Amino acid sequence: MSSNNLNSAIDKVLSDESDVREATSPHQRDFPYERDGEAQVTRREFCNFLAVTSTALFVSSGGFAAKSLYDSQKTEVLPAMKIEEAVTLKPGSALNFRYPTENDSAILVRSGDGEYYAYGQKCTHLACPVYFEKDAQRLECPCHEAGFDVKTGNVLYGPPPRPLDKIAIEVKDNGEVWATGREVGGWERA
């Protein structure tokens, strides 16, 4: 739009405004009407509306984020199950077992210091089975070259978006190792 056209558009708006003022002036005394005041109220109401809606959005999105974080980290208590052959597992090695059902493959790792760690075997990227890489002492996924920390299940490298699902274990006094629950991995990377 040229500056001439712009100026004439502004003149038209201003003249329309003065026409309205002129047309309503006989009634101003009976029905006082402040256009400037109305504009202030409208602006104030609009700002209040924005503040209320943005606060509501903020609170609700925060609630959803907190709930998904809670859901992603909660531990599911499941029937306890003895992991056969865990007692004979040597430090620095691993074995596969099934938990909590026959359809859920899992892996139990005994680290070099003798501690036990267990995870669901499904990689959190596209569900390929992870395996224990003895030399590197980490869990690896062969599909897209990912690595997970044995002691935390956290992603060390590769595309998985979150840690492995942890299986809660309990080591009894007699050395038996029992699976007692499952914790869905959170979102942190190593």
Question: Which residues touch 24 (CB under 8 Å, ≥6 apart)?
Answer: 33
- Nearest CA to 162 among 128, 189, 131, 129? 189
3-state SS assignment for residue 9:
helix
Rounded CA separation 82/177 (Å): 6
Asked if 186 is part of the footprint of ligand FES (rule: CB under 6 A), the reply reads no
Nearer to ligand FES, 140 or 183 (CB): 140
Integer CA distances (angstroms), 74 to 128, 137, 160, 183, in order: 23, 27, 20, 6
Under rule CB under 6 A, which residues in 152-181 are in contact with ligand FES? 158-160
The one among 98, 125, 151, 162 contacting ligand FES by CB under 6 A: 125
Q: Output 118 or 123, the one with its CB closest to ligand FES.
A: 123
Among 106, 139, 141, 164, binds ligand FES (CB under 6 A): 141
| The binder of ligand FES chosen from 143, 156, 171, 190 (CB under 6 A) | 143
**Residue ranges in 17-56 that form contacts with ligand FES under rule CB under 6 A:** none
Question: How many CA atoms lie less than 13 Å away from 46 in the CB half-sphere?
Answer: 6
One residue of 146, 150, 164, 179 binding ligand FES per CB under 6 A: 146
Asked if 126 touches ligand FES (CB under 6 A), the answer is: yes
Three-point CA angle 49, 51, 54, nearest 5°: 105
Give residues in contact with ligand FES (CB under 6 A): 123, 125-126, 128, 141, 143-144, 146, 158-160
